[in-house]
Amino acid sequence: MRSFPSLAPSRLIPTYFPSLGERNFRIFWIGQAFSLTGTWMQNVGQAWLVLELTGSPTKLGVVSAMQFLPMMLLSLFAGPFIDRFPKRRIILITQTVLMFLALALATLTATGLISYPIILVMAFLLGLVNLVDNPTRQAFIIELSGREHLMNAVSLNSAAFNLARIVGPAVAGLLMEAIGIAPCFYLNAASFLAVIGALLLVDAGKSARGPAISSFKEVLASSREGLSYIAGRREIMLPLVLLSIISTLVINYNVFVPTFAKSALGRSASGYGFLMTAIGIGSVIAALSLAARSRRGPSSLRLYGGAVALSLAMAATGLQRSYALSIGLLVVVGFSTISMSASANARIQLLADDAHRGRVMSVYSLVFGGVTPIGALYAGALVDRAGPGVAMTVSGIAGLAAALVLIVLARRKAVAGTGGPGRVVRAPPAQPQA
């Protein structure tokens, strides 16, 4: 008779989720899980608030663009500072500032003082903080989990992010219909206490530090050196190019989904919330699947195959008007997005050395989130002119074409031995630190 692995936590965690056996990562992961739920509640609440105030998909796209504009313009300059200072200290500061920004947005909304220009300013301030916070948290993971369990930790981090994407939008949709939008923002502010508390409990030891930075000229030189490092490693550069194109053309959920829910499907706030939850369900399934198979390392097949499946599912969503089918297709969208992004994240972190990881992850943040202003403006304008269904289909087809071109390029590199589709990346040994 075939035997199955025990589901007891004492066996389950070492077998499938070994990174949770590391105390520091476990504490940080739990704190993030709570905080990210609040973040998703605010994301959903803010998008619906903009539509209620303006009724304009283009203006919703502008808000998303403002939020990611700092990342687009300044990401390359954040990397040298991330490599220079202790990452735990940086994250403590950024998470505290984010908490107060959420509290301010909640209070302005509750008192009726909120307006579209204020939302634009708040979105820009949020983007300034996330410019540093996002890549620092990504680069911090390897210090908490170790190189051996990095793929597992990245996958579990994605699982936490997307479990929050399931719970946050669903709760936010129900709250908005029952008592209004402001409570979503207040709960987000409170949720930052969880991750701040976790950071205070983490004993991260000493981080590797880069050279001292005393002038803007040195920042520019360090940034250029980081870009040269990436350009000289095609196995890092090709996934970053893929992410930049798919993020710009396809991953515009904050514009596509609310407008599709409202105008194409005729749904209310709760209906929109559950569509976002569907993306989260697919994302969690993908993240847990990647975590359970993390010992095999990040596969290029999941990276490039995820981009193809995501583009096809987005195109198919725009072609139909069934709410139930939309939920099913958005589950595929979520699954494919995480298969692509988590594989790319772990792949480039394992291939980057310790001295450059902060700068490499700053570029990762640039191409995965920093291109959002361009993508949001593109998506908002296309939705205004052609409607959300056509916009989603056109974007999916364009993303598919780009992914296929990059697969061909990656296969050529695979022939030369640099790791194309199907190749699994193994963690190199840790390098000695000065």
**DSSP annotation string for 234-272:** HHHHHHHHHHHHHHHHT--HHHHHHHIIIIIS---HHHH
Q: Show the tokens assigned to 44.
A: 């959903």
Instruction: Assign 51 a pLDDT band (cuts: 50, 70, 90).
Output: confident
Inform me whether the pLDDT recorded for 6 exceeds 60.
no
pLDDT on residue 173 = 83
Per-residue pLDDT of 131-185, as tens digits, reads 889 888 888 888 888 777 887 888 888 888 878 877 888 888 888 888 889 999 9
Q: CA 358, 132, 188: angle at the middle one, nearest 5?
A: 130
Report how far residue 298's alpha carbon sits from residue 432's, in angstroms, rounded to the nearest whole number.
24
**What DSSP assignment string belongs to 177-221?**
HHT-SHHHHHHHHHHHHHHHHHHHH----PPP------SHHHHHH
Per-residue pLDDT of 284-320, as tens digits, reads 899 888 888 777 666 788 899 999 999 999 999 999 9
One-letter amino acid for residue 404 of the chain:
L
Please state the pTM of the whole predicted model: 0.74
Contact at 8 Å (CB) between 95 and 194? no
Report how far residue 143's alpha carbon sits from residue 377's, in angstroms, rounded to the nearest whole number.
36
Which sequence spans correspond to the domains of the chain?
A: 18-202+229-415
pLDDT on residue 433 = 35
Per-residue pLDDT of 15-25, as tens digits, reads 678 888 888 88
Could you please state the CATH topology (level 3) that the domain comprising 18-202+229-415 is classified under: Growth Hormone; Chain: A; (1.20.1250)
Cβ contacts of 110 within 8 Å, gap of 6 or more: 180, 182, 186
pLDDT on residue 427 = 47
Report how far residue 199's alpha carbon sits from residue 190's, in angstroms, rounded to the nearest whole number.
16
Inform me whether the pLDDT recorded for 193 exceeds 90.
yes
**Nearest alpha carbon to residue 161 among 257, 280, 303:** 280
Report how far residue 15's alpha carbon sits from residue 11's, in angstroms, rounded to the nearest whole number.
6
Inform me whether the pLDDT recorded for 228 exceeds 80.
yes
pLDDT on residue 1 = 45
Helix, strand, coil percentages, rounded to 5, for the chain: 80, 0, 20
